Structure 1
């Protein structure tokens, strides 16, 4: 697995939409009920119950997306004592939920700080150039469309699943697919774990192509011990959606510039 840290592909304008998406994801994460304790390393039952209730209401659920049926009982956010001990209370939902709208809200939900950080790093590195190429309005619509394609694609493949689907991974996978189409020769600095983290500068088609192959393998349960904990199939569908939506823009995209005198994306000092 390689970890991208920077691309050598300057953008022409400030990526305000990408920055706004990152800020929105961080703010939603910070104010998600029950998430503060997980960031601090705590895992109290009350916090867990609050988090489950919040995700059940605002996350996308494959069963709901495909069958358009609300569950009869959902976590209420309260803690109760039963014959088997303390646990989260469930009861009839006291709210109306729109499954299509839940796909949009799920794009801003994350279950842990590591989940959030990984997604935002990829968005920060690759999103600026896609926004620069598409323009702010089209990029925003593209981002949301890839998120919807990823969620519904995953739901079709897992229509019996009642587990909440959260995270911006599907939409960001679309950004990666677009980047592969539009800037395949752009150089990307990555860290490769080999005893230590080795910095390498590789073409985007190698970095993103390798990432996509891994997601496809993982989606079939290969190479991981618990493939079901991550929606790898959503990554695959989102990536393919990004490729298809960005393909018409490919002929008009100039090759990425190759600035001289750059060290890790910054101008090197004279003599270095």
Structure 2
């Protein structure tokens, strides 16, 4: 671990960011160029003290999970992320087999969505980052670990996962999840491993997997069953990276409807409503 180079790299990347790059108001009386340390710490989901110690060459060697969080908070490109890992004495993650790094262009769009639910997901259905409104609508989907990080895995192994959709909508959504995993398996070995695991655990998944569907259209009009607000009819829009490895999912409601009012309530109250 090269503490001096790591500290210098973190400081320079922090100073290169502006508040509007990450969806923060510019504010007044900024004594330093770029973001403040506490802002980067918040964006990275860690304490200000921990991040500050890294910049001051005093902290312990950060784990891979911490480095991935810092890379996301600083909006690093893949090359910059790999450099960060190497400075900290870790091997840079393989770009195909690891989906913890969020595409910077998708993050820049997400940063600017303050009043509607949005989240970035991998091609395996892993929620990589959510805004506050998405967490209020769907719950904290980033908390899962292991195979359960994938919405596909949770759908076929946890009955509670399916309650977010009305019962008549569930069969089609199951087909879409399996078809998406099948498409991902052509380029991502992790999708093949996940399919093998699910085939052993779920007869329903095994049957759908055998159908070999890869072209079930995404349902852009969805009804989400919220535990406190009931049914919310939403339009869902997708923004994909060029390699189709990640997508930004944005939920909106028709203005002037009861559904729009419910979304507005989620924006005000946030995850506490759950």
Asked which structure has the greater RCO (Cα within 8 Å, sep 6+), the reply is 1
